[in-house]
Structure formats: structure tokens, C-alpha cells
Structure 1
Amino acid sequence: MKSTLYSLLLLCPGFVFAQEIDQAVLAKIRKEGLENSKVQDIAHHLTDVSGPRLTNSPGFQRAAEWSVSELKKWGLQKAEIQEWGEFGKGWQVEKSYLAMTKPYYMPLIGIPRAWTAGTQGPVTGEVALVNIQTEEDLKKYADGKLAGKILLTRPNVDSGPTFKADATRYTAEELDKMVPAVASPTINVPEQMERLRVQRAFRARVDSTMKAQNVKLEIVGRPGREGTFFTSNGASYRGDSPIANPAFEIAPEHAGLIARLIESGIPVTLEAESATTFFDKKLTTGNVIAEIAGTDPKLKDEVVMLGGHLDSWHSATGATDNAAGCAVMLEAIRILQTAGLKPKRTIRIALWSGEEQGLHGSRNYVKNTFGDPQTMKLLPAHEKLSAYYNIDNGTGRIRGIYLQGNEGPRAIFEKWLASFSDIIDHPTITIRNTGGTDHQSFDAVGLPGFQFIQDGIEYGTRTHHTNMDTYERLVMDDLKQMATVVAAFVYNTAQLDQKIPRKELPKPRAN
């Protein structure tokens, strides 16, 4: 009967919306978040101090352990790195050098590809230009022609001048276009994972062909501009996967230079040396988890969650992807604690691992805690979660929120956003789904999972998965705004008489 009544209430607009925002609490949150912020220091520790944070690497472990330590200092309970299962090998670069030596000397902008072997000392060789994108392409190189060569694949992209600004903010008109009448199709995570599996399998076949032909080194030109390149996964991280051949990825301008020389009939020689370390003694990993305990006798067993992914790629320090999101969420928790607030519901923060390889940390946490999207067999905790809020769209300030197809909370989110009208320009709520990050893991089992709309800044042009994703790319005033807004959303959710409305439960997903 209780469940039926709750479902009927969801059909009544405004059923949770009569509750007024506690203006005194909001003032405390705003003062702490906007005037006494510690987000800059948090971001410094997650980027400059921790370094690159591939899952299961020393950098990830440094960031996770530091985060747990800070959460404990702030008085949170159950702060720990909570294991979720096997991820695979950690990996990091120990040494990296790459240069063209003929027809003249030029140092090249590049880095070893993730999860590839080192060169075992300096290597020198003539470059062969190849294009291996399909199985048919691979067959062309199966006759031994590549033996002893250094291979170069250049990107099929335009890396010339652009007359568009790298950094942008949404205009009111652009935000208005994000508000369609119906939700966009839900991102199919199993399909994403299958595409990744197929890509990894093909990559393994390419690597075995190169290894059989004694190729010295592979150089992959990556998309990008002006020395910035978008990094990628060079090989499998699975515990039982073979070690991939040495490989570098380089800026498109340098890949283009080498390719044009070769196409002009001018031989090119490169020299390189890389040293990489695999960490395969412990293949399991975990997420950073901590709580502010709820205080209401009837509601303290219910949970409001906030989070972002702590892991990054390896070519920089993962500042906007996603130290920014983690710094914001840590700062939001610090704001609530420092302000002395006592939420009715428990507030739980999660900093995820393995997001970049397929949302592994959040997907396994949800499966272990709330339910399995494959079978839709739900655990008791599923009924206890009110909402999950995620940040993973760079350093840009919050401009609104994606409802992820869940129309129920629109009215209350409008009210909460309106309370920040002085720091949120043209607040926008869209029914649209947005994908590519950890709120999808919650959405997959019918839990309210939300990603905020953020200004793009340089995310798609300069920082997302690039060798330039460093501390300098962070806009501190934007991070302060985000942390303040998130803290208010999380606290308001914890204080509601009812949980955030839910969508209809999804059907079980095929494997």
C-alpha cells in the first residue's frame, strides 16, 4: 500500500514541492562555498601532487588515499577505499623520449600509449607510413614488409588553424535549444561496452601482427591542434592480457610532418626510448566512499549520493577530467560539514575508479549495492536511495541540470536553481539524457541519477583526454560556484519529506 501511495503521489505535480528552502542554511552554504572555499587546494592535491591517475596506478592510489584522509579530517564516517572487484593492471610511464633524427633533428610531442611495454633501451629506425583501421587493412601488412620498422599512423583530421574560440560559455539561445519536448534516447551502456570490447580485440590482433614481424615501435598520430593531442588506450589492462608492443602517440602536426616527408620520398628516421611499469600484483581496486550520517529517526537510513570519477588518463594530470568534478564534490561535502549542517538523510560521497575504461567503479558499486541492470534483481538499498548527483563535464560552471528522462523533479529543481539566480545565468532544465559518465550506472537500475549542465569552456577543444589537461585549465571561480550549488542540491534533497521522484523501472538488459 505504501509503495502504491508513493507512486500515485508522483503523479501529483508539486507533491514534494511545498517545502520552503531554508534561507538561513542556504546563506551558510553560500558563505562557506563562495567566500571560504578550499577547492583550489583540493584541486592542487588531486592534480599537481597526485599526478596522472590511471586506475590501479600509484597516482590513483595517492589521490584516493589523500581523499580518504581529508574526508576523515572533516569528520565523515566510514571513509575508505571500498573495493568493488577486479579491474586489471595498473600502469605508469617512467621515462619518455621521442625525436626525429633524419632528415634533421626535431623533438616530437608525444607520450607512450597506455598499457604498452617500454622499449627496453633506446631504439632507432626508419619510419614506414601505414594505415590499419580494418581487418582488410591488417591483411595488407601480413607478409613481413614491416619487419624492423618504426610504424606511423597519422590521424585523418584537419589540424590547421581555427577561427573559433577554444573556450566558450553557453549563450541563452544555446541553452534554450537544449530543452526539447521529449527525452533523447537513453545511452545504451552494454552497447558502449561491446564497442569497446570489439576495439580492444582488433587492437590486440594488430599488436600480435606487429610483434610477429618484429616491428620496433608504433607511432600513432592523434587528433588535436597546436601541440595538444587527444590520448587513447594503447592496449588491454586486463590481468590476463599479453603485454603490448611499445607504442607512442604524438601530436597531429608532428605526425603530419613525418608523413609528408615520407610521401615526398624523403626517408625519415626516429629515435625513441620509453620505460613503463605494470602493476599486476593486485588486480582489484575500489572507490573512495564516505558518509555524513543522517539524523532523522525515520529518514536516516535513506541516502543522497554525490560523486565524480577520480581516475584520469596518463598524458597530463586529469584536471578537467575529472579532478574538477572530484574537487567540487569534496568541497561540497566540506561545505556541509564546516557549516555544521545535520541532514535528515545520510549523505554519501563516491569518487569512482575505472570510469575511463567503461564506468567500472560506479557500475560495480551499483550492482553490489542497489541491483543488477542485467536481471533487474534489486537489493533492499535500492528503495533507500533518493538521488545521485554527478559532475564530469569539465571546469565550467553549472548552468542547469539534465533530468535524464525523469520529469518528476522538474518543479523542485527549478525552485532550487532559482535560489542561485545571481550566480547561474539563464538556469536551464532539460528532459534530455546525457551520457558518458557515472550517473548512467544509477539510471540503468531506475535510480534518479543526474548530471549537471556545465559551460564547455575548453573541454571539447583543449582538455578532455589530452596532454594539456593540467591545473592551469581549471577556472577556480567556476569550481566554487559548482561546489556551492551542489552542496545546496544535496542538502535540500536530504531534507525533503519524500525521496526524489523516479522513472518507471527499466526492463532487464541483455548481456
Structure 2
Amino acid sequence: MKIKHTYLLLTCLLATTLIAQQKEDPIINALIAEATQNSQLEELAHEVTDVVGPRLVGTPQMQNAHNWAVEKYKSWGIEARNEKWGEWRGWERGISHIDMLEPRVQSLRGTQLAWNPSTSKNGVTASVITLPEVVNAAAFEKWLPSVKGKIVLISKPQITGRPDYNWEEFATEKSFEKMKRQRDSLSNLWNDNMQRTGYNSRELPEILEKAGAVGIVTSNWSRGFGVNKIFSARTKKIPTVDLELEDYGMLYRLEQSGHTPKINITAISKELGAVPTFNTIAEIKGTEKPDEYIILSAHFDSWDGGTGATDNGTGTIVMMEAMRVLKKIYPNPKRTILVGLWGSEEQGLNGSRAFVEDHPEIVAKLQASFNQDNGTGRVVRLNGGGFLRSYDYLTRWLQPVPDEIKDEIETTFPGAPARGGSDYASFQAAGAPGFSLSSLNWSYWNYTWHTNRDTYDKIIFDDVRNNVILTAILTYMASEDPEFTSREQAVLPIDRRTGEPRDWPTPRSPVRKGGID
């Protein structure tokens, strides 16, 4: 199935404008024209989000994604392979159905959390109970037996489901300030009470399960309309589900007012044992310096509350589309161009750390790596990563980028290396020049980062297309550069705690057996 390009005329006009700025280099002109006039971004996004779906490490969908990418690369005449680096707990999500049965009937909006064991086909039916206010840990231990046979609500209730920007637009200043004071006060009371139980929110599900609870309900609100963060379960045998704020709040109020809601949780899933985990690697071999490398970098995996569209479907399709464009327009690069679509970034940069650990010969001869992983927006920040001479080559590579793309980008040199965050940090820790193409957030942190709303419709294709052009030109320039990039490291800023300059981060080994007892 092909997605029609609704704005074909506009993109052709854009291509004409951009090419006019780049008369001096026909390769750059052709890269821009191909990326705008023959873009495959919409089709790629549809296939990876709607057809393949979420890409949780250890699931069949993740394996399907790796296989799909290899076949897509091959259809473009690009060599590609799936490279095994470890194993993970295999798990497959099925149907989640959560229904309130008393005091009235209503289907509730929520989902089972990742790696949670399946219920029976009939699910679990029980009354809900909320956490008590306690004076100390001993009082909480005395209360614990009361959860036996109950489904426990363990998240803080919210006093409003409206995000702050909505209050700022419509509320009076007095009303807005009042709400914030109430919210802060309730949050402090909740946190203080949680501390008095003797457990934190990560430990509590297991404690409740051991005490006889038959289900856990959370609501991890992400400060937006209808949006929750969706992560993994911490129970071993009983269901853990996350409910959207509105339904969670209703259950909480009903329980508090003595109406004793009863719900059914049916959450079907499959345990698949240990399954292999992969990185998908694509390659265009260099002609003059084949043992020097440029890596286009994006993590392929996602959480599975939505379909992983902006975390990191957009980074993935930028790198794939840039590779397609380069193969068509610049098929004989001077240096070898790789694309790394990494597995299990979400659990600690595991795929890229494994690649760095397993391929020291590539890392030692890395000209540059360009990583994109913070949403659907146009690139607006480029940091030198702590490499003292990064200004010299990055500004040289940026020079031919069209002004309307380049002028949006704020550069920082020499910058500082990352200590996590995304896969460029794996290369920087090894002393190799990895750079983050950091984008405008489009409410990323609230609405799409690890949420149930990270779906195809949130993609801004004009911005993503600009990122393809930027990536393709940077790659072309890095490949053609007669010089090998300097790895000289800048003196890092002073650590306020020690009064000494910060140390350069050191490489960390990946988790190669994830979730496997």
C-alpha cells in the first residue's frame, strides 16, 4: 500500500527553492530533489507504525520490524543484515479489557503493562481498594492483609485532567494559582504518606502481590489530555494495568465515597521464553576509504502504549530515507556509510552499546555518527559533544545545508559528552564522534514520549523531511571530507560537587540477557 503525497506540489516548489540555493554542487541539488520530490516518508511511517506496530524488545513485533527493515533496504539495492547481540524475555501482548461492573457497568480505557503474565480468558473480578493514610510503616504492615482478594489502586489521584496550558488560557489567575496550590499540597501529602509506608512506588506492587492482592491498577498521567506513560509491570503473577486519568479518578472517587466499585481485568498475553535480540545494520561500501565509517543512528525499539511513532519511528525513518536517497544519488561514497537501527535503547542503550563493544574496528575509524531520537520536530540543536575540533568539521559540513534548514539550528561548541539519553552517548563514551540531531519537541515529553498517544497522526512530515535533507547532506560532506575527524577532547566543565573538571564518560557494557531469570 502506498500513501499518497497530498502536498506534492508544495514539496516540488520547496525542492526548487532549496536547489536554487545550492547551484555549486549537483550532488547536493540532487539529494534535495530526491528527498522532496520522491519522498517515501509517509509510506515508511505507515508501515513501521500501523503495520508492524509497537516494537517492544523481546516481542514478535520487534522481530517483524527487523525483518521488514532488511527487506526494505534490499528493495533499494542496499546490503542489510540483522546482527544478534543478546537475548531478551520473549513476550507478546494480547487483548486488554477492563470493565467496571459495580456500581454500574462501564468499559474503562487502559492497558496491561509490558511483560505482565496473562490472566485467564475470564480475567480477574474483584472490588477495588485504595492505599490508606498511615502514621508509620508498622501501621501499613497491619493494613496489608486487607488487600487479599482485592484489586489495589496505587497511583496518586489527580485533581484535574486539564494540562496547565489549558488552565492558563481559560482560568482566572486566582483560580489557576489556587489549583496549583491544591495540587502541590495533595502531591506532598501523597508522597509523605508513601514514604511512611516504608516502600516506594517501584517496590509496592510486589509487596501487595505477596499480601494477596489479585490485581494492581496504576495511572501514570503525562500532563496532557488523555495521555499516560506506559511502561512495564512489576508483578509476577497478577495483572497490572494502567488506566487513563479520567477512569482512574472515577474509580478512586467511588471507592473513597464508599460505593465500592467492582471491576474485571482481562489481560491476555503470551510468554515466549528467551528470544534473540538484534540490531539492523545497512551498508553502502566506501570506494576510496572503505575502512572509515559514517553511521546514521536511531533506535528501532519502542515502548508499546502507542505505536512508537515519534519515539523513535521518526528517527528510524529519517535514517532509512536518508540512506535510500544517498544510495540513489551518491551510490559510490568515499567512506563506508552504515545505518544502525538499534535494539533495546529503552532499557539502557543496549543495542548501540553492544555494537560499540563488538566492533572496535569500526568505532576506531568512525568519521562521525549522526543520531536522531527526540520526536518529530525539525532539528534545532547540534552539540559538539565535547570534541575540541568539532567546530572545524561540523560547520564545514553544515555550510551547504539550505538556509531555511540550517538557520533553525543552534550550535554549541565544543559542548560536552552525554552520559546517557540516547545512542550517540554510546559512541561518545568510546571517544568516537557521535552527534545528536536534536529536534523541536512538539510537546514530545507530555504527549508522545513513552505514551499511549505516540501514533502516526503525531508525525510532522515537513519537519521530518527537512531532517532527511540535513542528514543526507551531513553524511555526504563527511564522506567527501579529505580529513579524518579529530578526536581531541575538550577540558570539561567543573563538577560543582568536587570542584574538579568532569571526567569523560567511559563505555558501559550492554545487558545481553534482559528479563531472563
Q: Which whole-Å CA distance do the structure 1 matches of 2:352 and 2:142 have between them?
A: 40
Q: SS at 1:144's partner residue?
A: helix
* Match of residue 361, structure 1, among 351, 355, 360: 351
Kept after mapping to 1: 8 A contact 2:306/2:455: yes
Kept after mapping to 1: 8 A contact 2:426/2:507: no
Q: TM (normalized to structure 1)?
A: 0.79
Matched, 1:260 2:275: no
Structure 2 equivalent of residue 49 of structure 1: 51
Kept after mapping to 1: 8 A contact 2:377/2:440: yes
Kept after mapping to 1: 8 A contact 2:157/2:249: no
- CA offset at residue 160 of structure 1? 3.3
Matched, 1:495 2:480: yes
**Structure 1 residues 253-262 or 382-391, which shifts more?**
253-262
* Match of residue 393, structure 1, among 374, 393, 398: 374
* Match of residue 279, structure 2, among 265, 287, 297: 287
Matched, 1:164 2:145: no
Q: How does 1:226-241 map to 2 (within 5 A)?
A: 226-235=225-234
Structure 2 equivalent of residue 178 of structure 1: none
Kept after mapping to 2: 8 A contact 1:142/1:209: no
- CA offset at residue 415 of structure 1? 4.0
Q: SS at 2:404's partner residue?
A: coil
Q: Which whole-Å CA distance do the structure 2 matches of 1:65 and 1:266 have between them?
A: 51
- CA offset at residue 320 of structure 1? 0.4
Q: Which runs of 5+ in 1 are unaligned?
A: 1-19, 167-200, 236-241, 371-379
Query: Residues 302 and 158 (structure 1 numbering): CA distance in 2 closer, same or farther, change over 3 Å?
Result: farther
Kept after mapping to 2: 8 A contact 1:109/1:227: no
Q: How does 1:288-303 map to 2 (within 5 A)?
A: 288-296=280-288, 299-303=289-293
* Match of residue 412, structure 1, among 389, 393, 399: 393
* Match of residue 458, structure 1, among 443, 446, 456: 443
Query: Residues 30 and 358 (structure 1 numbering): CA distance in 2 closer, same or farther, change over 3 Å?
Result: same
CA deviation map 1:76-131 (0-9, x unaligned): 23x11100123x21222211101222222222211001111122122211101127
Q: SS at 1:367's partner residue?
A: helix
Structure 1 equivalent of residue 466 of structure 2: 481
Kept after mapping to 2: 8 A contact 1:53/1:314: yes
Query: Residues 124 and 156 (structure 1 numbering): CA distance in 2 closer, same or farther, change over 3 Å?
Result: closer
CA deviation map 1:361-416 (0-9, x unaligned): 1111111112xxxxxxxxx4432111111010111011231222224222432344
- CA offset at residue 357 of structure 1? 0.9
Q: How does 1:116-265 map to 2 (within 5 A)?
A: 116-120=116-120, 121-130=122-131, 136=137, 140=141, 143-155=144-156, 159-162=160-163, 164=165, 206-224=204-222, 225-235=224-234, 243-265=236-258
Kept after mapping to 2: 8 A contact 1:387/1:500: yes
Q: How does 1:374-385 map to 2 (within 5 A)?
A: 380-385=361-366
Kept after mapping to 2: 8 A contact 1:309/1:322: yes
- CA offset at residue 202 of structure 1? 7.4
Kept after mapping to 1: 8 A contact 2:427/2:434: yes
Query: Residues 315 and 490 (structure 1 numbering): CA distance in 2 closer, same or farther, change over 3 Å?
Result: same
Query: Residues 300 and 429 (structure 1 numbering): CA distance in 2 closer, same or farther, change over 3 Å?
Result: same
Q: Which whole-Å CA distance do the structure 2 matches of 1:422 and 1:137 have between them?
A: 63
Q: Which runs of 5+ in 2 are unaligned?
A: 1-21, 168-198, 490-502, 510-517
Matched, 1:322 2:312: yes
Query: Residues 61 and 509 (structure 1 numbering): CA distance in 2 closer, same or farther, change over 3 Å?
Result: closer
- CA offset at residue 493 of structure 1? 0.9
CA deviation map 1:268-322 (0-9, x unaligned): 1111211011221x433110011100000xx211111011111111111100011
Q: How many residue pairs get matched?
A: 437
* Match of residue 424, structure 2, among 435, 439, 448: 439
Q: TM (normalized to structure 2)?
A: 0.78
CA deviation map 1:308-355 (0-9, x unaligned): 111111111100011111011000000001114321110010101111
Kept after mapping to 2: 8 A contact 1:92/1:277: yes
Ranked by relative contact order (alpha carbons within 8 Å, sequence separation 6 or more), the top structure is: 1
Query: Residues 138 and 349 (structure 1 numbering): CA distance in 2 closer, same or farther, change over 3 Å?
Result: farther
- CA offset at residue 223 of structure 1? 1.4
Identical-pair percentage: 30
Query: Residues 426 and 509 (structure 1 numbering): CA distance in 2 closer, same or farther, change over 3 Å?
Result: closer
Kept after mapping to 1: 8 A contact 2:371/2:437: yes
